[in-house]
Amino acid sequence: MSSIVNAVVNLDLEGPVISRHVYGHFAEHLGRCIYGGFYVGEDSDIPNEGGIRLDVVEALRALDIPNLRWPGGCFADEYHWRDGIGPKADRPVMVNTHWGGVEENNHFGTHEFMALCELLGTEPYISGNVGSGTVQEMSEWVEYLTRDGDSPAVRERKANGREEPWKVKYWGLGNETWGCGGNMSAEQYALEARRYATYCRDYGDNKLYRIAAGASDFSYAWTETLMKQLSHLGCQRVERPLYQAVSVHYYTIAGTWDHKGSATDFTPEEYYTTLHKAARTDELLTGHANVMDLYDPKKEIGIVLDEWGTWWDVEPGTNPGFLYQQNTMRDALVASVSFDIFHRHADRLVMANIAQTVNVLQAMILTDPESGALVLTPTYHVFRMNKGHQDAASLQVHVVGDQPVKDVDGAELSTVSVSASRKDGRLLVSLSNLDADEAADMVVDLRGGSVTGLAAEILTAAAVNAHNSPEAPEAVAPRAHDGARIEDGKLFVHLPAHSFVTAAGDLA
Ligand code: AHR
């Protein structure tokens, strides 16, 4: 049996632009994300440039990733950037206390990160250390990276082989400062954020976009405290608010933090609970945005959801501190539903960063520690299929009449999710059917324009827990979808059970 879902899209009524940065990424010194994931060192047999894996770079370039957040996460608040510059043999070893207590040799540091961003064609987003660092240390990192001319930090950079300053826009003022980033109260951190922000300077035409470390989940009071502090500025000479955005973190888990559940072996109940939790991202963003509206009705301060995604129990036999998990069709649907929500919040959401890009949590890429083989996950394919939404004008999708729902944990989950956008004369519609067993048929009345040359792609699999591995790298892979057509100004799309479809065409 298949449900029919009707919707209307006005092609000529453009909404706010979907920032490409909501397709952002996150790479922490955690498990095998940096070492073994992005970076194998110059002496590795795996083809690399300056130690950076070229197969990983090639796979990620196909996603057009807009930014990469680094070095953490919790790691950021224990990271002292000067440990990661200069000759590698002289760099001190530190203990990565958060993530497995492993020794970190600091071979991947500032210059290696900036080289990685250049190879990826992406913008850096650096998370500074508030928890165990100093204002001076953070201030000098900004100067080292972005100042031209002659000053102690600039001379230091030049001595390390980099003459020209880099461009760095996105700057995080700490991470999870309510927890691993210093266990502070909101009031205490808000004052720290103002102080740190003051000394993170704009050099030349490098204008920082400072991101205050925000709330966990639905802690709206944290956001309110940060917003209040912004409206209490003393110095009239400050042209812009001290920080330009506040962050929030939201992870999707099916169980509890002690028992998050398996990535691949889950019940139908856990499947729907997961998707319901992902769908609550809408409530999350609405709640934080409502608080911000009170203090900033013009929406000048952005929300940065700089950690999101699924978090499961680690794969059996792997280091619990490494957060290595498989990635199934369920994860892909968490991603596709989350993107629909991000698109709907384009007026306030300026950035989102999936946690994390390689080998950690809801990764795009998994690499085999023994053979080095690289596997693209189902989530990777959602990012690739959706990349046309980056910097596109959002289009509202009005669902008309009934839509299929499931009762999940005492609430209703709509099992069909849709979003649309237009850019450069192209329409892109993304559609997810979350029902594990039933198909759905979507009929979208396209008003205010016409669409030609429709092409559709589908991502689905035999089961919701299907996933890719070195032995079966294409168990979940996109293919052309012949179940989409335009007829009489309407877009008809057949959505098999647990599927994600994108349909794109030329607008006239
Ligand atoms: O992404 C893994 C961890 O989750 C990050 O280090 C931290 O910020 C969050 O708690």
Count of CB atoms within 10 A of residue 18's CB? 26
DSSP codes joined into one string, 55-103 = HHHHHHHTTT--EEEES-SGGGGG--GGGGSS-GGGSPPEEETTTTTEE
Cβ of 72 less than 6 Å from ligand 1:
yes
- Give yes or no for residue 176 CB within 6 A of ligand 1: yes
* Residue of 98, 307, 308 with the most ligand 1 atoms within 8 Å of its CB, for mutation: 307
CA gap 431, 420 in Å, rounded: 9
Which among 378, 503, 508 has a CA at the least distance from the CA of 442? 503
CA distance 218 to 488: 44
Residue closest via CA to ligand 1's atom 7 equals 73
Q: Which residues of the chain, if any, have pLDDT below 50?
A: none
Å from CA of 304 to ligand 1 middle: 15
**Any atom of ligand 1 within 6 Å of the Cβ of 78:** no
Residue 158: which region, alpha, beta or left (left: phi > 0; alpha: psi -120 to 50)? alpha
pLDDT at 70: 98
Active site positions, annotated: 176, 307
What is the per-residue DSSP string for 444-500? EEEESS-EEEEEEEEE--SSTT-B--SSSTTSS--EE-SSEEEETTEEEEEE-SSEE
73 within ligand 1 shell (Cβ under 6 A): yes
Q: Which residue has the CA at smallest separation from atom 8 of ligand 1?
A: 73
φ and ψ of 24, to 5 deg: -80, 170
Nearest atom (ligand 1) to Cα of 251? 4
Task: Quickly count: other Cβ atoms within 10 Å of residue 255's Cβ.
Answer: 15
Q: Within the chain, what is the greatest distance between any pair of CA atoms?
A: 71
Q: Mutation test of ligand 1: which of 32, 69, 74, 325 has the most ligand atoms closer than 8 Å to its C-beta?
A: 74
Q: Specify the pLDDT at position 397.
A: 97
Spacing, Cα 308 to ligand 1 middle (Å): 9
Question: Does ligand 1 lie within 6 Å of residue 355's CB atom?
Answer: yes
Position 241 scores a pLDDT of 86
The residues with which 427 forms a beta bridge, in sequence order, are: 422, 505
Does the predicted TM-score (pTM) go above 0.95? yes
Which of 116, 242, 114, 250 has its CA nearest to residue 190?
A: 242
Instruction: Give the E-state strand segments of 217-277 in sequence order.
Output: 245-252
Mutate to test the pocket of ligand 1, among 99, 249, 311 (most ligand atoms within 8 A of CB): 249
The protein residue whose alpha carbon is closest to atom 5 in ligand 1 is 73
By three-state DSSP, how is residue 395 classified?
strand
Predicted local distance difference test score (pLDDT) of residue 211:
98
Protein residue with its CA nearest to atom 6 in ligand 1: 73
Among protein residues, the one with the nearest Cα to ligand 1's atom 2 is: 73
**What is the residue with the minimal CA distance to atom 9 of ligand 1?**
73
Residue 2, pLDDT score: 82
Quick check: CB of 175 below 6 Å from ligand 1? yes
SS3 of 103-142: the string is EECCCCCHHHHHHHHHHHCCEEEEEECCCCCCHHHHHHHH
3 state SS of 204: coil
Q: Is the alpha carbon torsion for 184, 189, 195, 196 positive or negative?
A: positive
1 CB burial (10 A radius; 0-12, 13-18, 19+): exposed
First-to-last C-alpha distance (Å) of the chain = 35
Tokens of 30: 């955690």
Question: 483 to each of 274, 453, 493, 503, how far by Cα in Å?
Answer: 27, 14, 6, 10
Task: Name residue, tokens 């499931």.
Answer: 406
Dihedral (Cα; 9, 10, 11, 14), 10-degree rounding: -110
Cβ-based neighbours of 317, under 8 Å, separated by 6 or more: none
What is the chain's percent helix, strand, coil content, to nearest 5?
Answer: 25, 30, 40
Tell me whether residue 136 is exposed, middle or buried, using C-beta atoms within 10 angstroms of its C-beta: 0 to 12, 13 to 18, 19 or more.
exposed
